[in-house]
Amino acid sequence: MTSSSTTHTIMWFRRDLRIGDHPALNAAIEEAQSHGGAVVPVFILDPALIGGAGSKRLAYLGNSLRALDESLNNNLHVLIGDQVDVLKELLKRYNASSVHISQEFERYGVDRDKRVEAAGIKLVRTGSPYAVAPGRVVKPSDGTPYKVYTPFYRAWCVHGWREAAPTPKEIPLAKATAADRNFPDWKLPEGTEITPAGEKAALERFAYFTKNHLDQYDEARNMAGIDGTSKMSAHLKWGEIHPRTLLRGLGQTKAHDVFRKEIAWREFYADVLFNNPHTEKQYYAPRFADMRYDKPGKQFEAWKEGKTGYPFVDAAMRQMLKEGWMHNRTRMVVASFLVKDLHLEWQLGEAFFREHLIDFDLASNVHGWQWTAGCGTDASPYYRVFNPIEQGKRFDENGDYIRKYVPELRHLSGDDIHEPWTVLDGYLHDYPERIVDHALERVESLARLNEIKVQTE
């Protein structure tokens, strides 16, 4: 118990599992020090979110919580229960009057925080998971949100963002008891492996990327077989690093600007979902709900297992199953294959990604899928169909990516690995035959598009 004369403050961590560049944590420290108290760091295990997360993402979260705890001298309170009940108990126990948070913008988080406030708990919002919070970038002409990425990006750059918040040199912390230390023991499934979690791992990886790959990012980011991307997505998802930290050292070269644009895509999609919350499940372009789609069956199962018979697609799906992460180029290719070649609705693929990705971000996942499906924002029209063979030849020319994840094809090289059906020993190691003919399904896909175009004309 704490002395009744001492007032502490509560720092409720959610998607901000770090201590550097953390405005809400700094605000909590400032308030605690003004009252001669300490900060009570807490993470509440939310059954609703845990129930919807796959085993790889939960394992990553568990590792991230332990990394944060280490930064807090093993004083992170990890508690289980309803947020209102947990916070009320802490407020009473520590004689605290407020709870500090980073502001949330997704519907679930917004509704949760409203429910907490309705119970009489004061939430102090400082900062957010974004360089520019959703809803801030609007058209100067009429104050409405942007619907297309490129003008959004320009306005986002003009709007600008704050400098990174200083990392606290010392944090006055309330000591956690044994009863407060309910760290989950989430195990990785056998045969899977995930990247290191935590703020330290994020900073180390970004330093490595900056030194070795950033200056070639515009060229290297699309090459699936090389380590040419930042690998920051999971760290951003859990707030182990803030986008401001990634932005602050960028220059004006083409490579640096392309990386800046990738950060802006994440913020654009967050803005789109904030302004159109129904698009979490529904079509951004409503007319595509009227398109003729097939029912999921054996072909959908083959797609999920990485057994479509298209090597570039299968390598990508197996990468996600093994690592909980997939190269961004291949995310577009497998999404296009599901919607345009198998004629299945994007929500099926989005849900499967949601289950398996450690970097699952609601806005990016939902609107990345809709963009590739041609029913979302911007100018990715439905008639743009990714050719899974040509994409492989272009972005995995030597087949290194395919060989890594599809062992049945390691005996092949060059163009043969992208089209094993064209060589005598292509199926030597029981690689599955193609479940569809891409050329025919592309024609079918465009025919289905014409059906709804006729309906709306």
| Element of type H or E holding 43 | strand 39-45
- Whether residue 21 lies inside any domain: the answer is yes
pLDDT average, residue stretch 359-388 = 87
CA distance 366 to 388: 22
Backbone angles phi, psi at 77, to 5 degrees: -85, 115
Give the mean model confidence (pLDDT) for residues 444-448: 94
Residues 261 and 374 placed together within one structural domain of the fold: no
Residue 2 confidence (pLDDT): 46
Domain assignment present for 22: yes
How far apart, in whole angstroms, are the C-alpha atoms of residue 16 and residue 240?
6
Last residue of a domain, one of 247, 275, 303: 275
Same-domain check for residues 117 and 137 = no
pLDDT value of residue 408: 98
pLDDT of residue 5 exceeding 80, the answer is no
Bridge partner list, 100: 11, 124
The answer to whether residues 290 and 242 belong to one domain is: no
- On whether both 103 and 152 belong to a single domain, the answer is no
Statement to judge: residues 404 and 437 lie in one domain = yes
| Domain's final residue, options 128, 148, 172 | 128
The per-residue pLDDT for range 246-288, each reduced to its tens digit, is 999 899 999 999 999 999 999 999 999 999 999 999 999 999 9
Q: Say whether 331 sits in a helix, a strand or coil.
A: helix
What mean pLDDT is predicted for residues 313-327?
97
> 333 and 314, same structural domain?
yes
Q: Is the pLDDT of residue 384 over 90?
A: no
Q: Is residue 319 part of a domain?
A: yes
Do residues 157 and 113 both lie within one domain?
Answer: no
* Residue 186 within any structural domain of the chain: no
Whether 187 is in a domain gets the answer no
pTM of the model: 0.94
Residues 6+ apart with CB under 8 A from 257: 218, 250
Q: What is the phi/psi pair of residue 409, to 5°?
A: -115, 15
Same structural domain, 118 and 256: no
355 pLDDT higher than 60: yes
CB 341 within 8 A of CB 43: no
- Let me know if residue 191 belongs to a domain: no
What CATH number did the domain enclosing 267 receive? Answer: 1.25.40.80
In three-state secondary structure terms, 42 is: strand
Backbone angles phi, psi at 173, to 5 degrees: -115, 140
Give the domain-ending residue among 128, 155, 173.
128
C-alpha dist (Å) from residue 99 to 38, 94, 95, 102, 103:
13, 12, 12, 10, 12
Asked whether residue 296 falls in the same domain as residue 440, the answer is: yes
Q: Is the pLDDT of residue 453 over 80?
A: no
d(C-alpha 185, C-alpha 59), whole Å: 8
In a domain, 239, yes or no: yes
pLDDT tens-digit series, residues 145-155: 999 999 999 99
pLDDT > 90 in the chain, percent: 90
Residue 1: pLDDT over 60: no
Closest Cα partner for 245 from 169, 325, 161? 161
Q: Which domain holds residue 403?
A: 286-456
3-state DSSP assignment of residue 77? strand
Task: Of 51-60, 80-89, 345-354, give the lowest mean pLDDT range.
Answer: 51-60
CA–CA gap between residue 263 and residue 277 (Å, rounded): 21
Mean per-residue pLDDT of the chain: 94
CATH number of the domain bearing residue 445: 1.10.579.10
Residues 134 and 34 in one domain: no
Per-residue pLDDT, averaged over 13-35, amounts to: 96
If one counts every other C-beta atom within 10 angstroms of the C-beta of residue 149, the result is 20
34 and 21 within one domain: yes
Sign for the CA dihedral angle at 44, 46, 49, 53 comes to positive
Please state the rounded mean pLDDT for residues 306-310.
98
At residue 348, does pLDDT exceed 80? yes
170 domain-assigned: no
Backbone angles phi, psi at 339, to 5 degrees: -80, -45
Helix 311-323 vs helix 346-356: crossing angle, to nearest 10 = 40
Contact status, residue 244 vs residue 133, Cβ threshold 8 Å: no
Residues 335 and 348 sit within 8 Å (Cβ to Cβ):
no
Same domain, 294 and 435: yes
**pLDDT confidence tier of residue 47, bands split at 50, 70 and 90:** confident
Task: Quote the pLDDT of residue 457.
Answer: 46
Total number of domains in the chain: 3
Q: DSSP state, 339?
A: I
From residue 44, alpha-carbon distances to 78, 135, 181 in Å are: 6, 27, 11
Q: Please, which pLDDT band fits residue 328 given cuts at 50, 70 and 90?
A: very high
